[in-house]
Amino acid sequence: MKTAPHRLPAPHRLIPSFLIMALGLALSACAAPPRDPLNDYAWERLERLPKDAAEVAAAVAASSREAFLESTKLRVSDVLKDPESARFRKLRLVDYKGGLLACGEVNAKNSYGGYVGFSQFMAANNYVILLGESNARAGLSGVDMSLVSTVCGNQ
């Protein structure tokens, strides 16, 4: 019984399939990764900081540093469980890209009536970012932690 000799495909027949496979791999590497909404939010917030700082600088110029810092204390107190218990330290205006943003630390009582320790904050004209133990996780609070660290440092 004779067996047919085993023949390899002709090289010219392999080239088209190899080219198609190589082209497919090359094109798949060009696909854009999916967008991350949290990453977009972080970049939007970071890009907005210079504008926020310019607005604070204008507000300080219209009144005074002391008046703006007092209004900052009120706005920070408004987000606390017990606003009357607020104790502030390291309250200051920080130069940020030609403008100003308020930074500091606040300690206040929690729902149980005990002081929880000082938490870092940053404030502009229309918002306050207050960090605390509940912020030690990823997500939006991670974005806020990055913004406060960028502007205020680690105090």
pLDDT score of 153: 86
Domain assignment present for residue 30? The answer is no
27-51 residues labelled b (16+ CB within 10 A) or e (exposed): eeeeeeeeeeeeeeebeebeeebee
Report yes or no on 94 lying in a domain.
yes
Q: Of 85, 77, 133, give the one whose Cα is nearest residue 108.
A: 85
pTM for this structure? 0.71
Task: Examine residue 96 and state whether it is found in any structural domain, yes or no.
Answer: yes
Determine, yes or no, domain membership for 2: no
User: What is the model's pLDDT at position 53?
Assistant: 95
Kindly state whether residue 85 falls inside one of the protein's structural domains: yes
Tell me if 69 sits within 8 A of 84, measured CB to CB.
no
- pLDDT for 50 equals 94
- Per the structure, how many domains does the chain have? 1
Does the pLDDT value for residue 14 go beyond 80?
Answer: no
Q: What is the mean pLDDT of the chain?
A: 83
Residue with the bigger pLDDT between 119 and 13: it is 119
Sign of CA dihedral 130, 117, 93, 72: positive
